């Protein structure tokens, strides 16, 4: 039967009538006793004495524990500390740290601090101790705490809690060296290495190569967050796409994308190629993203120039093939036999070849000048003014020609020159050849190249009259207007050929 106190507590503390057991008044004696045994506190039987529990804790602790007497001699050492020191617990007892570890750095100062503690009772916390032990050698470190042990307020000794930090220090030192190497690499790299916090959107690392990209100093350094508004630097047309790519990185994906930026300190828009990747924490959450950004402006501009050159080459090739086909057909039609055809066709192909050689020296959007084309054709026959006193040239340098007009104009100049050599001014010692040209404004403001080819003092008798219409003359009178939109006035005067050519030269991109 429960005593009155227990029954009273059962009645007061809980309303048993709301449970399946029903009201306490209806309980049997057996039920009452069972409930009492279940809810009343029971005495702890066979509990070990406190000293035994402390002994067990002392032995099993994963950190070093020790006790010294007032003479600073070990009176107790646990297994963890003995293992750190490379000695058995028994080898410590009765000996002082000065006896066992004479090579500890700053040992004398530490002994003075321990003696002072025995007098003042002030503990020492977070004391870093470095040196060597007899059993395990040098280059080791410990973090130690010391406290006075009192009995009836009298200090009878010192307790120590010791944690070896040798491996942790080694890892920390290696980490510092690794970070230093990384920073050296980042500073030496022409690429921009960056690390960004996804929560704050701030850069936690931004390599110094950004300074050269900006052509200015960047606030902050690589070892702390740098304030730089990349979002504002991205041109508005590329901003949405760039943000969408970075959102993929925050979702755990690696991306490579390019965008244009307008940077402070730079007048030109720059192209940036950015490779970004997630840096998830141990829990798998992406709280940081990193990346490598490259200034690829020159590469992209080079690619654009290359594409333009390829397009120009294709355009010139189509023009050249068309000219070759037309020359072959017209030469064949006016040639009485294959021998005549072969000779005429070869000479005209050489004229085209000279024009192509001039074109091959151009790059990108460069254009050939009329004076260069004219001098190349005359030079092939030794008919430059410096080689032949009968020839006079008069006109400005640098009048640019349309690329589509080069081959046809080269053939026309070739026909005029060969005709002059065979029948005209360059075939007669007393004759003269004068070529002048100028750039003039035409209708609608479009510039035109006007060329005057004038042969004088030519004896127009026999073969010199050239009043028949050969293939060369047909190319000049019909090919130039049809293919180049030129206006022609070709006449045989009493003393030689007079040819006036006017063709458009304003460059329009193909």
pLDDT, tens only, 183-223: 888 878 888 888 889 888 888 888 877 766 665 444 444 44
Domain boundary among 295, 328, 358: 295
Domain boundary among 164, 189, 207: 164
Domain at 367, CATH number: 3.30.565.10
pLDDT at 157: 93
pLDDT at 471: 58
The answer to whether residues 459 and 478 belong to one domain is: yes
Question: Is residue 19 assigned to a domain?
Answer: yes
The answer to whether residues 354 and 457 belong to one domain is: yes
Cα-based angle 62, 68, 70 (whole degrees, multiple of 5): 160
pLDDT at 13: 60
What's the rounded mean pLDDT across residues 87-109?
90
Kind and range of the H or E run holding 289: strand 286-295
Q: Say whether pLDDT at 22 is over 70.
A: no
Nearest to 495 by CA among 464, 457, 453, 454: 457
Q: Say whether pLDDT at 43 is over 70.
A: no
The answer to whether residues 57 and 14 belong to one domain is: no
To 10 degrees, the CA torsion angle through 146, 151, 157, 163?
-30
- What are the start-end ranges of the H helices in 337-479? 338-360, 370-380, 406-422, 471-474
Question: Is residue 510 assigned to a domain?
Answer: no
What's the rounded mean pLDDT across residues 12-30?
61
Q: Say whether pLDDT at 45 is over 80.
A: no
Of the candidate ranges 5-19, 58-72, 191-205, 223-237, the one whose mean pLDDT is the lowest: 5-19
What's the rounded mean pLDDT across residues 137-158?
88
* Domain range enclosing 33: 4-39
Q: Say whether pLDDT at 325 is over 80.
A: no
Gap between the Cα atoms of 433 and 455, Å rounded: 5
What's the rounded mean pLDDT across residues 87-110?
90
Domain boundary among 295, 328, 355: 295
Q: Binning pLDDT at 50, 70 and 90, where does residue 472 land?
A: low
The answer to whether residues 376 and 252 belong to one domain is: no
Q: Binning pLDDT at 50, 70 and 90, where does residue 498 land?
A: very high
pLDDT at 222: 44
Q: Say whether pLDDT at 100 is over 50.
A: yes
The answer to whether residues 202 and 158 belong to one domain is: no
pLDDT at 223: 42
Q: With beta carbons less than 8 A apart as the criterion, state whether 499 and 490 touch.
A: yes
Of the candidate ranges 13-17, 239-243, 421-425, 454-458, the one whose mean pLDDT is the lowest: 13-17
Question: Phi, psi (5° rounding) for residue 160?
Answer: -135, 140
Question: Is residue 439 assigned to a domain?
Answer: yes
Q: Say whether pLDDT at 290 is over 60.
A: yes
Name the DSSP letter for residue 478. Answer: I
Q: Say whether pLDDT at 350 is over 60.
A: yes
Nearest to 486 by CA among 452, 455, 449: 449
The answer to whether residues 318 and 187 belong to one domain is: no
The answer to whether residues 340 and 434 belong to one domain is: yes
Average pLDDT for the chain: 80
The answer to whether residues 357 and 446 belong to one domain is: yes
Q: Binning pLDDT at 50, 70 and 90, where does residue 306 land?
A: confident
Domain at 262, CATH number: 3.30.450.20
The two tokens of residue 55 are: 């002994």
Q: Say whether pLDDT at 344 is over 80.
A: no
The answer to whether residues 332 and 441 belong to one domain is: yes
Cα-based angle 240, 244, 248 (whole degrees, multiple of 5): 170
Count of domains observed in the chain = 4
Q: Which residues of 68-94 are buried (b: 16+ CB within 10 A; e: fewer)?
A: bbeebbbebbbbbbbebbebebebbee
pLDDT digits (tens, 9 = 90+) for 440-471: 886 766 789 999 999 999 987 754 444 445 55
What's the rounded mean pLDDT across residues 158-177?
90
- What are the start-end ranges of the H helices in 40-158? 50-60, 79-85, 89-92, 97-100, 107-120
Q: Say whether pLDDT at 265 is over 70.
A: no
Higher pLDDT, 477 or 433: 433
Q: With beta carbons less than 8 A apart as the criterion, state whether 402 and 508 touch.
A: yes
Question: Is residue 44 assigned to a domain?
Answer: no
């Amino acid at each position: 039967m429960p005593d009155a106190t227990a029954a009273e507590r059962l009645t007061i503390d809980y309303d048993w009538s709301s449970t399946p057991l029903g009201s306490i008044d209806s309980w049997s004696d057996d039920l009452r006793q069972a409930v009492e045994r279940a809810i009343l506190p029971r005495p702890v039987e066979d509990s070990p004495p406190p000293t035994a529990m402390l002994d067990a804790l002392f032995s099993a602790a994963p950190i070093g524990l020790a006790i010294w007497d007032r003479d600073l001699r070990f009176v107790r050492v646990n297994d963890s500390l003995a293992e750190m020191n490379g000695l058995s617990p028994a080898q410590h007892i009765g000996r002082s740290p000065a006896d066992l570890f004479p090579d500890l750095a700053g040992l004398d100062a530490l002994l003075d601090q321990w003696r002072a503690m025995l007098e003042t009772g002030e503990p020492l916390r977070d004391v870093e101790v470095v040196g060597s032990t007899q059993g395990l050698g040098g280059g080791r470190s410990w973090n130690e705490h010391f406290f006075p042990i009192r009995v009836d307020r009298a200090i009878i000794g010192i307790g120590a809690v010791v944690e070896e930090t040798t491996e942790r220090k080694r890892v920390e030192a290696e980490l510092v060296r690794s970070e230093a190497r990384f920073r050296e690499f980042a500073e030496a790299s022409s690429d921009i290495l960056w690390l960004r916090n996804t929560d704050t959107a701030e850069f936690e690392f931004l390599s110094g190569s950004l300074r050269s990209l900006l052509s200015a100093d960047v606030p902050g350094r690589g070892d702390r967050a740098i304030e730089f508004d990349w979002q504002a630097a991205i041109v508005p047309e590329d901003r949405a796409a760039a943000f969408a790519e970075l959102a993929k990185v925050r979702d755990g994906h690696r991306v490579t994308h390019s965008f244009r930026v307008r940077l402070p300190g730079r007048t030109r828009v720059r192209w940036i190629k950015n490779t970004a990747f997630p840096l998830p924490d141990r829990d798998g959450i992406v709280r940081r993203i990193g990346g490598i950004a490259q200034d690829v402006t020159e590469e992209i501009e080079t690619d654009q120039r290359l594409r333009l050159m390829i397009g120009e080459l294709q355009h010139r090739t189509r023009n050249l093939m068309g000219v070759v086909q037309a020359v072959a057909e017209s030469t064949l039609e006016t040639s009485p036999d294959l021998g005549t055809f072969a000779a005429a066709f070869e000479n005209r192909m050489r004229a085209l070849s000279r024009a192509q050689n001039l074109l091959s020296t151009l790059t990108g959007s460069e254009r050939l000048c009329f004076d260069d084309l004219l001098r190349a054709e005359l030079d092939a026959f030794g008919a430059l003014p410096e080689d032949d006193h009968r020839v006079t040239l008069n006109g400005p340098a640098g009048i640019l020609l349309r690329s589509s007009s080069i081959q046809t104009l080269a053939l026309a100049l070739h026909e005029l020159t060969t005709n002059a050599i065979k029948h005209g001014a360059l075939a007669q010692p007393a004759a003269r050849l004068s070529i002048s040209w100028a750039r003039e404004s035409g209708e609608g403001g479009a510039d035109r190249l006007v060329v005057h080819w004038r042969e004088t003092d030519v004896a127009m008798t026999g073969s010199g009259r050239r009043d028949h219409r050969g293939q060369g003359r047909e190319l000049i009178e019909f090919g130039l207007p049809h293919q180049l939109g030129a206006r022609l006035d070709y006449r045989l005067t009493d003393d030689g050929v007079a040819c006036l050519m006017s063709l458009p030269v304003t460059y329009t991109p193909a």
